[in-house]
Each structure stands twice: as structure tokens, then as C-alpha cells.
Homo-oligomer: A and B are copies of this chain.
Amino acid sequence: MDAALDRWVPPETAPPETIHKAMRYSLFAGGKRIRPVLCIAAAETVRGGPVAGVEDAACSLEMVHTYSLIHDDLPALDNDDLRRGRPTAHKVFGEAMAILAGDALLTLAFEVLARLDSIDSSRKIRLVEELASAAGTVGGMIAGQVHDLEGEGAEPDPELLERIHRAKTGALLRASVRMGAIYAGASGEELQALSDYGEHAGLAFQIVDDLLDVEASSDALGKTAGKDAAQQKITFPAVYGLARSHQMAEQELEACRAALAPFGERAQWLRELADLIVHRKN
């Protein structure tokens, strides 16, 4: 994935150098690459083997994810100084450059999809639509961020919690799986089964994220732990308590496995990824 990302992002020596440095700083900060890996694994599940060029499409997901982190960390939003174990982009490059670097990664994500050379235009357009819609304001990532901002300090409410998380992280994780499936030419049924998997994996991811914020250290996370409680965010532990939240994560893992049943052995990688998402330590 890092090699593919490196091919698509202009080098640090390309003018204007500062923006390319800022984009690369955040993109190559040791992220877990969960979204691109889900995309590639979904494509391989459909085809039953390696799928040429899917890692290029997957780059667009990591770019959108990274842009959202850069903007989310800004002083006007979550105001975070630490991300992936390093100072956040605005701490290093200043706020103006961080805003522009986020904008640039979002823009580049769509350019990458338009320039893919191993699938036809109609498939590329489906990918553009999936990505834009998952990142947007109608049930997508930005909707989640707005609900999240506006929900700070609100009563712990299961319905609001689900709406926030489905949008904020769920939509892009689900799109990651769907985009891999579309890239590989999945049938309607395959796409539906993989969407279900993506939805449950997304929910599991967020439950565990909320749990880690309570139970892990900043060192282990590479970002500030305990921020959710400090900012009175609506989280799974806040609404359901720790024990019940752990139980819910395991239920989502079961649902992931059930969704993959039709693929048999071909879905082994996606099964392992769901397991990793639920049992990760950071």
C-alpha cells in the first residue's frame, strides 16, 4: 500500500513543496491501512485470487481517511496534538497548510479513481459515486462529524449513537469493502453480502475504538486516550457500559462471519480482518 500511495502523491520536491510534504507527513505516519486492506481483501474474495491494480483504487480510501483525520484534529474541531504517535499536521505545518493538505488529499482521491487504468469508465464512475457518497453529508462521514460535534454533552442516547457511528466511520469502512467488490466485478448478490459484512465490520470497528479510548493508554494508541469522556462524546461505553460494549463487538464479529458464509474459503482474509478489527490493541 505504501508503494502505491507513493506513486500517486507528488514527491516532496514537486512545487509547491510544502503542501506535498504536509500530505506525505500525514499519509505516511504509520496508519493501519484498514480501509485499503478491506478493499483489496474484498476484491480478492470476489475473484478468488489476486486482483491487478486494486491497490491503486484502495489509495483513494486512505487519502479520504487521512484528510478527515487532518481536518478533525484542527483546533476548531477536536483540537488534538497527537496522531499516530506524532504531532498532528497543524502542529508541524500550521493551520493554513493543514487545511489545504486535507483539501488536497480529498481532491487527489478522486483524481486517482479517474486515472485508474485497469478497469473501464463505468466501473470507475461507480467507485467515484461510492466514495463521494460515503464521504458526504447524507449518512456519510461529514454527516457523522457534524452529529458528533453537535452531540457533545448530549444525553447518552442509543439512537443518536448509532446514527453518529454509522455515518462517521461506518460509511467509509462499508464503502471500502464495496469498492473492492465493485472493482473486481462482483455480482449483485456478492455486493450485497459484502456490504453487510462491511456494515458489521464498521460498527465493530467503532465499538472497539470507543473501548480503546477508555481502556488503552495514549502510548499504545498513538493518540490521546480518554478524550471521548473529557469531551463528553456519545460512545458505546457511555451508553451501554464496558461489559455490554465488549459483548456487542463480539456479536458484530459473528455477523461479519455470517455475511461471509456464501464465499466459503475465498473469504478467509476478510474473516481474519474482522477478527483483527475486534481484537486489536490500538
Contacts and interface: CB of A to CB of B under 8 A. Distances in A.
Contact of A16 (B108, B129, B150): B150
Given A99-B99, A104-B137, A121-B122, A128 B143 contact: no
Contacts of A133: 111
Interface in A201-240: none
A91 interface: no
Given A74-B99, A125-B125, 7 more contacts: A10-B138, A18-B150, A100-B145, A104-B137, A107-B137, A108-B136, A111-B133
Nearest to A64: B107
B103 A103 contact: yes
A103 B102 contact: yes
A144 to B, nearest CB: 9
A132 B149 contact: no
Interface residues of A, number: 53
Interface string A65-94: 001000100101100000000000000001
A165 to B, nearest CB: 14
A8 to B, nearest CB: 11
A146 B102 contact: no
Given A16-B143, A108-B137, A143-B19, A76 B94 contact: yes
- Label chain A's interface by main secondary structure: helix
A15 B137 CA distance: 8
Interface string A105-137: 011101101110000111011101101110111
A58 interface: no
What 7 pairs across the A-B complex have the smallest Cβ distances?
A76-B95, A111-B132, A114-B129, A121-B121, A16-B146, A121-B122, A114-B128
Each complex incorporates copies of this chain amounting to: 2
Contacts of A145: 100
Interface in A152-205: none
14 contacts: A14-B138, A16-B137, A20-B137, A67-B103, A76-B94, A76-B96, A107-B137, A108-B132, A110-B128, A111-B133, A114-B126, A115-B129, A120-B121, A121-B125
Interface of A: 10, 14-16, 18-20, 23, 67, 71, 74, 76-77, 94-97, 99-100, 102-104, 106-108, 110-111, 113-115, 120-122, 124-126, 128-129, 131-133, 135-138, 140, 142-143, 145-147, 149-150
Contacts of A15: 143, 147
A95 to B, nearest CB: 4
B104 A76 contact: no
Contact of A124 (B104, B121, B131): B121
A113 B15 CA distance: 29
B99 A113 contact: no
